[in-house]
Amino acid sequence: GAGVSQSPSNKVTEKGKDVELRCDPISGHTALYWYRQSLGQGLEFLIYFQGNSAPDKSGLPSDRFSAERTGGSVSTLTIQRTQQEDSAVYLCASSLAGGTQYFGPGTRLLVL
Amino acid sequence: AQSVAQPEDQVNVAEGNPLTVKCTYSVSGNPYLFWYVQYPNRGLQFLLKYITGDNLVKGSYGFEAEFNKSQTSFHLKKPSALVSDSALYFCAVRAKALTSGTYKYIFGTGTRLKVLA
């Protein structure tokens, strides 16, 4: 596609529920990144994929967070048993290997 | 630890005046440096990057940035600010992760630029 797309754009959920956030990277981009941006905060790195493998998962805040990427394309970030502190904008970016990252519009998650 | 610092939470400048948004970094090796802009309710947009070569790099919307190796800085500049430049600006560096050996991107906390008419 023309750019990185993310869905849903907004998600409201109840505490304790699981959520799945989806990222469609730019076609041909081998690298994919997930970040979290809390209100008024900078970007917090979560996880990085090169192809389908994740060489760097160091940013995942807890074992409630997981991510996968299939076919070297679409990625899903899953948050289990959501907590209120998970409320944030989740941003996805893709790039060619080692290249400039291009960001999607983000998914705004609100946990009530 | 490898890091990026944006020392100013907010920068105010009058329209037509020059603007500078500061960024310093601390990484091992030769860094790749980036600036991104985030307009309200929008994703981050790439502005410019430095990889190698000329220390002054030019980017989108009339922005430029100067790489200074001795001061480990990569300040964003524009000769004449516009009200429409008002946004949140992020500096980022690509550095080699010390443990995994893969590359990772480290972002600053962002600087809110407000251009006053």
Lowest mean pLDDT among A76-80, A100-104, B66-70, B94-98: B94-98
Question: Rounded CA gap, A80 and A78, in Å?
Answer: 6
> Which chain A residues contact residue B32 at CB under 8 A?
98
**Residue given tokens 């959920």 in the structure block:** A13
> B20 or B101, which is more confident?
B20
State residue A55's pLDDT score.
78
Query: Is residue B99 over pLDDT 80?
Result: no
**Span B54-67, average pLDDT:** 94
> B3 or A17, which is more confident?
A17
Task: Per-residue pLDDT tens, chain A, 112 aa: give them.
Answer: 579 999 999 999 999 999 999 999 999 999 999 999 987 677 888 998 988 888 778 789 999 999 999 888 999 999 999 999 999 999 999 998 778 889 999 999 999 9
- Check CB contact under 8 Å for A56 and B97: yes
User: Which residue in chain B has the smallest CA separation from A57?
Assistant: B100
State residue B101's pLDDT score.
67
- Contact indicator for B76, B21 with CB cutoff of 8 Å: yes
Distance (Å) from the alpha carbon of A15 to chain B's nearest alpha carbon: 24
- Contact indicator for A56, A47 with CB cutoff of 8 Å: yes
Question: Rounded CA gap, A99 and A96, in Å?
Answer: 5
Q: Which residues of A touch B (CB under 8 A)?
A: 4, 33, 35, 41-43, 45, 48, 50, 55-56, 58, 91, 93, 98, 100-106
Question: Rounded CA gap, B27 and B25, in Å?
Answer: 6
Q: Of A39-43, A55-59, B26-30, B85-89, which one has max mean pLDDT?
A: B85-89
Cβ-Cβ pairs closer than 8 A, A with B, add up to: 52
> Which chain B residues contact residue A41 at CB under 8 A?
109-110
Distance (Å) from the alpha carbon of B17 to chain A's nearest alpha carbon: 26
> A45 or B101, which is more confident?
A45
> Which chain B residues contact residue A58 at CB under 8 A?
97, 99-100
- Residue B48 has a CB neighbour count (10 Å cut-off) of 19
